[in-house]
């Protein structure tokens, strides 16, 4: 998503989204609620591919066999489409891609390694959209964006459309009905959550400045799926400092104290402003 120092975890190039105002989703002021959506597949792992029995060279033509990919956008997109598909009452068996060996890879609620293979094949298709060999995998582990993932899910018939929220209130509004893809800078200080699962401390501006001082590791796409705590002021508006979002990461179920998830205050995302991106498909 952003140019970064390493091909593992983070992509190497920033991909600018297309401005499509018909996709815009704004919070209309209606009451927000605490919610939790069910992600029917396991926590994915874009690293440790060898240990998962995944050979990227056998999945994608021209790919090298590597142990990690900067495919966070497609890991997030895979979990997102799985949640949206099942929430609509559809069978995961309807979501499938074809690998280089002409093997059909179908999303499964029981085989997390196969779901990671799906994300790998999706990553190849998504990066091919740019038309620029420097931002395509293979050969370059380039990363991508939520925009390209959503448009690819549309092209493949897994989604009818998608919506974009320009701010965290819009994201909280989208979260009322389903999971939301979140793309944002990822700071070195966020590499490990604290004992409660928070990556951003107390959600204050000072905490964000401290994270910024630690350095940007890269851009990262994850999946918002719950509002376990919603703060409200006396006038009924949302208190972003006391509002907490639970987010699914793709660095294995062994990452952090929440089994691969993390918590972030809505205030932190509000401070990030235009540097954070939120998208959700409709199926």
What pLDDT does 2 receive? 45
**In sequence order, what are the beta bridge partners of 165?**
278
Neighbours of 51 (CB within 10 A): 11
pTM for the whole structure: 0.95
Please state, in angstroms and rounded to a whole number, the distance separating the CA atoms of residues 222 and 20: 22
Q: Is residue 144 part of a domain?
A: yes
CA distance 45 to 49: 8
pLDDT digits (tens, 9 = 90+) for 207-250: 999 999 999 999 999 999 999 999 999 888 999 999 999 999 99
pLDDT at 12: 76
For tokens 């974009």, the residue is 164
In a domain, 12, yes or no: no
Give residue 239's domain range.
33-282
The reply to whether 63 falls in a domain is: yes
pLDDT value, residue 109:
92
Shortest CA distance to 203 belongs to which of 168, 243, 171, 169? 243
Number of domains in the chain: 1
- Residue 41 maps to a domain: yes
Cα separation, 45 vs 225, whole angstroms: 18
In a domain, 16, yes or no: no
Q: Does residue 43 contact residue 252 with C-beta atoms inside 8 Å? A: yes
Q: Which of 247, 207, 250 is nearest to 227 (CA)?
A: 247
**Looking at the domain assignment, is residue 198 inside a domain?**
yes
CA dist 224 and 281 (Å) reads: 13
pLDDT at residue number 239: 97
The answer to whether position 3 is within a domain reads: no
Q: What is the pLDDT of residue 13?
A: 73
Locus of tokens 């905490």: 207
Determine the Cα–Cα distance for residues 66 and 59; give it in Å rounded to an integer: 12
Number of neighbouring beta carbons within 10 Å of residue 213: 10
Distance CA 230, CA 244 (A): 6
Q: What is the mean pLDDT of the chain?
A: 93
Q: Is 241 exposed, middle or buried (0-12, 13-18, 19+ CB in 10 A)?
A: middle
Give a yes or no: residue 65 inside a domain: yes
CATH number, residue 262: 3.90.70
> Could you say which residues of the chain have pLDDT below 50?
1-3, 5
């Amino acid at each position: 998503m952003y140019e970064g120092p390493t091909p593992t975890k983070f992509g190497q190039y920033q991909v600018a989204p297309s401005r499509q105002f018909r996709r815009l989703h704004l919070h209309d002021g209606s009451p927000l609620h605490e919610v939790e959506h069910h992600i029917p597949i396991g926590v994915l792992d874009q690293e440790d591919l060898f240990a998962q029995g995944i050979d990227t060279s056998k999945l994608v033509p021209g790919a090298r066999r590597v142990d990690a990919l900067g495919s966070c956008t497609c890991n997030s997109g895979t979990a997102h489409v799985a949640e949206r598909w099942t929430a609509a009452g559809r069978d995961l068996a309807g979501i499938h891609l074809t690998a280089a060996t002409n093997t059909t890879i179908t999303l499964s609620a029981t085989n997390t390694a196969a779901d990671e293979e799906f994300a790998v094949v999706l990553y190849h298709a998504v990066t091919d959209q740019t038309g620029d060999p420097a931002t395509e995998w293979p050969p370059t582990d380039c990363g991508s964006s939520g925009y390209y993932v959503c448009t690819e899910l549309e092209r493949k018939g897994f989604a009818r459309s998608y919506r974009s929220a320009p701010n965290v209130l819009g994201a909280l509004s989208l979260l009322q009905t389903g999971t939301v893809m979140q793309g944002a800078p990822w700071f070195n200080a966020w590499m490990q959550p604290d004992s409660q699962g928070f990556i951003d401390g107390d959600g204050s501006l000072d905490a964000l400045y401290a994270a910024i001082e630690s350095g940007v590791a890269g851009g990262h796409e994850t999946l918002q799926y719950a509002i376990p705590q919603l703060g409200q002021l006396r006038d009924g508006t949302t208190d972003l400092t006391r509002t907490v979002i639970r987010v699914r990461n793709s660095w294995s179920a062994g990452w952090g104290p929440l089994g691969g998830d993390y918590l972030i205050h809505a205030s932190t995302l509000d401070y990030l402003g235009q540097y954070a991106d939120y998208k959700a498909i409709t199926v």
